[in-house]
Amino acid sequence: PAGFFALGAKTVTVPAGGKASVDVTTNTKLGGTLDGAYSAYVTASGGGQAVRTAVAVEREVESYDVTLKYVNRPGETPTHLTDLAGYSGVGETRDYTSQSTADTATLRVPKGKYVLNSLFVKDLVQAKGGVDWLIQPRLSVTGNTTVTLDARTAKGADITVPDAGAKPLSALVNYFDDTTGIGIGIGLASFQDVRVAHVGAAVSSGLFQSWSGQWTKGAGTEYDTFTGTRTTKLQGAHVKHYKASELAKVKANLGAAASGKTGAVTAYGFLPDDDSMSVGVPQTLPASRTLYVSTGEKVQWAFDLEQDAGVDATGTPIIEAYYTDDYPQTLLAGKSYTRTYNTAVFGPKINADYGVFRDGNSISGYLPLFADGSGHPGSSLYTSVTTTLYRNGAKVASNDDPLVGMKEFKVPAAEATYKLTTSVKRTVKVAAASTRIDASWTFKSKKADFTKLPTSTVRFNATTGLDSRVAAGKTVTIPVSVQGSAAGRNLKSLYVYVSYDYGQTWKMLKVKNGKITVKNPAKGKGISFHAKITDKQGNKSTVSIYNAYYGK
């Protein structure tokens, strides 16, 4: 605006070989309410020459100093890491940070409201000795402000499990404020490493805090706890001593259909206001692991297993297969549960969430082709994938999506008969069971809003060892179940076949009361299954599972 910049002189005289200057003043009262950077150019000309010089000034928004006064624990000189996260005012969504070992630091911030988090850290690399974490959930800055942060007030939670032999592995303290929309969590080896203190006055409402802990005992036992509370003041010395009667016992059977594998179970806890996850502890597969988990407070638990092929150069596990629960479940105190992961028969799974879908003029598949014998969805590394869509008998296109929803087929709007086929192979180095799965689905479809298409599959519910092997030559009865559109009373026909030569020859089996009877394969040999399904609307599906399991 006019008058914002002013020159101290209209002319200057520059002596030969010398220099001259002129003062520039600014009147930052001009410009109305518009803060920020203002700039101008000063041009001097004479003697056939011209010189142009830029000038600039930033008119600061209404801002104030926040002085941080640190009080360390006796004999300690930690690094102070402080963050002011704005949630209201000009500083909203911005962070103002300070890192210092001094007793005092100053942050200049715009007028507004902030969340203050400050860490006292003795070891910035490995956090040895833990951290003192001081939190002021709501700090209003309307003038120069001083905040005293006293590490001596920070306390660690006193949370224990009923097994003196269990050693702490991880401890995570979280908080979330509904009012600010800001939440932070810090996880270290034990609750005594995460020492917390609330700074300032209590808040009226909206604050939630949780504690997630994990302890291990030996090679195959762990304790996982998850507790939380609505509060007006963040707690340091939270106390919770779990009793054995308050825990649920979960025996996780961990399969592997290939030798030389390791794997890890992860426990996921879900409270109404937060969630957590444990640290996966590697162990040789196949194996079992016992997990004792907390109950109450409406907590729910889910588990998954990852199968690893060693570690990379950084020591990170190389995941080659994983299997997970469909949904978290409520587990009851004092009760025992069993979960089995990564065992035969691996095959497609269709339910309310999984299947083949149409969205407008796009068709795609989203279903686990290698759900394990317990029905856990999951996946693994594959050596080849070919998925093809046909329309009225003519090929539309092919892709390499193993029906995980990553690729879709574009089709015309008019109604037509479609056939979707897929063939997926995996190496015996990942899993010797279900080394190949072929499936197809035939249905009619036309343009529609997002909808699930009528597709089906068959699950072969054989009982195998954790190595996906069975007693060679034994005659057994295997339940079979239809999933998808042909399930229940909508099944028109079901034909099941068995092969002992990798599908070169198939023998039809009689399905009686939802079961088939087969002779287990010879030692070291595989058995394969094939099924044809038709629902009462004429939609057809097939599935072939090669080397479903082996004899031993």
Query: ω before 199 within 30° of 0 (cis)?
Result: no
Per residue of the chain (552 residues), give pLDDT as tens. Answer: 777 788 878 888 888 778 888 888 888 778 777 777 788 888 888 877 788 888 887 778 899 999 999 999 999 999 999 999 999 999 999 999 999 999 999 999 999 999 999 999 999 999 999 999 999 999 999 999 999 999 999 999 999 999 999 999 999 999 999 999 999 999 999 999 999 999 999 999 999 999 999 999 999 999 999 999 999 999 999 999 999 999 999 999 999 999 999 999 999 999 999 999 999 999 999 999 999 999 999 999 999 999 999 889 999 999 999 999 999 999 999 999 999 999 999 999 999 999 999 999 999 999 999 999 999 999 999 999 999 999 999 999 999 999 999 999 999 999 999 999 999 999 999 999 999 999 999 999 999 999 999 999 999 999 999 999 999 999 999 999 999 999 999 999 999 999 999 999 999 999 999 999 999 999 999 999 999 999 999 999 999 999 999 999
> Which CATH number is 63-153's, of 3.40.630.30, 3.30.43.10, 2.60.40.1120, 3.30.460.10?
2.60.40.1120
pLDDT at site 357: 99
Tokens of 212: 């997630």
Domain with CATH 2.60.40.2190 in the chain: 155-341
What gap in Å lies between CA 107 and CA 64, rounded to an integer? 8
Q: Residue ranges of the alpha helices (H) in 31-188?
A: none
pLDDT at site 34: 76
Which DSSP letter does residue 73 get?
P
3-class secondary structure for 416-446?
A: EEEEEEEEEECCCCCCCCCCEEEEEEEEEEC
- Quote the pTM value: 0.90
Strands laid side by side in the 456-460 sheet: 456-460, 475-484, 515-519
- Residue 103's H or E segment, with its range, is none
pLDDT at site 27: 81
Domain with CATH 2.60.40.1120 in the chain: 63-153
Alpha carbon separation from 533 to 42, 451, 540, 545, 546 (Å, rounded)? 84, 21, 6, 15, 18
pLDDT at site 507: 98
What gap in Å lies between CA 18 and CA 152, rounded to an integer? 63
pLDDT at site 6: 84
Of residues 289, 356, 354, 295, the one with CA closest to residue 328: 295
CATH architecture of 155-341: Sandwich (2.60)
pLDDT at site 414: 98
Q: 49 has which bridge partners? A: 46
pLDDT at site 44: 81
pLDDT at site 38: 81
Of residues 92, 200, 94, 91, the one with CA closest to residue 145: 200
Tokens of 208: 């939630």
